[in-house]
Structure 1
Amino acid sequence: MAGVDNEVLIIENNDEASVWTQKHEEIFIELMEEEVLKGNKNTITFTKQSWKYIKEELCGRAKRNYSDMQLRNKYNQLKQKHKDFKSLLKETSMGYNAVTGEVSVTDEVWDKLIRVNKSAKRFRKKGCKFYEKLCTIFGDTTATGSNAHPSTRSPSNDDDAMLISVLMKMVTKEERKTELIERSMATSASHYLLDESVEALNQIDGISGEVYTKAIEKFENEVSRALFLKMPEHRRIDWLLNLK
């Protein structure tokens, strides 16, 4: 996944909608955000191991194979989308809704914006739904801007309220980061038990290929792996010979 910061590449069949559904794009964004919160992204891009994890998880959840080129292309497209929307929010007349990702301005303002900047047209109807997540991914700590406000309240200059909001976001991100780290540690521990179980199985002589295969299938279950490792060697053999 080297070179993801290069210019946007064109998808092979030139039909993005057929390659990236909205749900798949959402999964891709969420995976990248998780990796950022886990500290697996430097100032330029994700680590090689992190890209491998993102690709495997995306293909697994989407049940579709994505190539490195398609991931690189989508990454750069989203980066450009974040840049364009951020530029749009700098307009003093823009009202941004952080909940829906939409912007609220008159048709007259939209027409003027589009005449000056054609990229604004893409945000007119739906805004940028995952802008907050894109800000996390691409290192922008000023996601909401001076005109951003939730739909339940009007823009305010109340510094205390803004400070509380910022602190709440920081706490939420830290909690999310802790959750991801704990999940990662649990996954690592689970894989470790699998390696130990297979190694212990390989040390047992005289078992048939059929029994060996059945044991490997049983090791897909975490409880079976743990029990097998706690058994003395002669009980392991009994367990293997009684597998069905």
Structure 2
Amino acid sequence: MEEEEEAAAAEEVVAEESAAAAEAPTATGEVAAKGMQQGLSLLIKTDKAQWTEPNTHLLCDLWVEQIRAGNCHKGTMSGRGYKIIVDKYSMVTGLKHDKMQLRNRINQLKIMYGFWKELQKQSGFGRKADGTVSALEWWWKDNTKERFSECKKLQYGAPEYIDQLEEIFYDVVVDGFTSYLVGFDGEEEQDGEDV
């Protein structure tokens, strides 16, 4: 009798586990996020990131909007800013991207923008009408292989959202053009004499 009860209990546990496994999300783009509230795990369904040029342009527009609204300080977007961007991006595109996907894309754009700024300082190259470096294919291959692959797109010109990138990364991207030494005001003293 006891063995039958144990077998029935074991079958019930297996059936419960099978039902739970059948209900568990398995679609691409679903990630588990640990919720701090009441120690529960929350499942947030997200779409696979689709960073087409129009989607990237929209993200840049929304990011700039939040900078102007005061929700981003020195390159760090506030939680409120992220929520607004996530909601508006989803409303316009129909795609559900989370904070991490947005931040990853902004970080990719930061690399590309840094490379663009570097290109603007290059000398010895021809220039196209839009300011793009005119170089041979091998130069682009050699100079973009260690970077984010989208940097190679810059050989065809600046992205349509370059002005937004300028605003997003203003005072954030270090391009080596200027520097500042803490405690140095630019005036030199000579042997204790005023200059």
TM bucket (normalised to shorter chain) is 0.5 to 0.7
CA RMSD of aligned residues (A): 3.3
Per the alignment, do residues 32 and 60 of structure 1 end up closer, same or farther by CA in structure 2, a change over 3 Å counting?
Answer: same
Indicate the residue corresponding to 2:139 in structure 1.
112
1:19 partnered with 2:46: no
CA distance in 2, matches of 1:48, 1:35: 11
Aligned to 2:96, the other structure's residue is in SS state coil
Q: Which runs of 5+ in 2 are unaligned?
A: 1-28, 31-47, 174-195
**Equivalent pair of 1:29/1:133 in contact (CA under 8 Å):** yes
Indicate the residue corresponding to 1:70 in structure 2.
101
**Equivalent pair of 1:35/1:41 in contact (CA under 8 Å):** yes
Alignment size in residue pairs: 125
Per the alignment, do residues 63 and 116 of structure 1 end up closer, same or farther by CA in structure 2, a change over 3 Å counting?
Answer: closer
1:95 partnered with 2:103: no
Indicate the residue corresponding to 1:86 in structure 2.
117
Give the TM-score, by structure 2 length.
0.53
CA distance in 1, matches of 2:168, 2:85: 13
CA distance in 2, matches of 1:65, 1:141: 27
CA distance in 2, matches of 1:35, 1:131: 17
Deviations 1:134-188 (Å, cap 9, x if unpaired)? Answer: 010111599xxxxxxxxxxxxxxxxxxxxxxxxxxxxxxxxxxxxxxxxxxxxxx
Q: Which has the larger radius of gyration?
A: 2
Deviations 1:41-73 (Å, cap 9, x if unpaired)? Answer: 111311111111111111111111112221121
Paired letter, 1:71: L
Matches within 5 A, 1:88-237: 88-92=119-123, 93=125, 95=127, 103-107=132-136, 111-112=138-139, 114-118=141-145, 119=147, 121-140=152-171
* Higher share of residues assigned helix: 1
Q: Which runs of 5+ in 1 are unaligned?
A: 1-11, 143-244
CA distance in 2, matches of 1:95, 1:125: 11
CA distance in 1, matches of 2:167, 2:80: 20
Paired letter, 1:115: D
**Equivalent pair of 1:85/1:128 in contact (CA under 8 Å):** no
Deviations 1:73-96 (Å, cap 9, x if unpaired)? Answer: 111111111111111111023636
Aligned to 2:72, the other structure's residue is in SS state coil
CA distance in 2, matches of 1:82, 1:26: 14
**Equivalent pair of 2:119/2:133 in contact (CA under 8 Å):** no
Paired letter, 1:33: V
Q: Report deviation, 1:125.
A: 2.4
Aligned to 1:19, the other structure's residue is in SS state coil
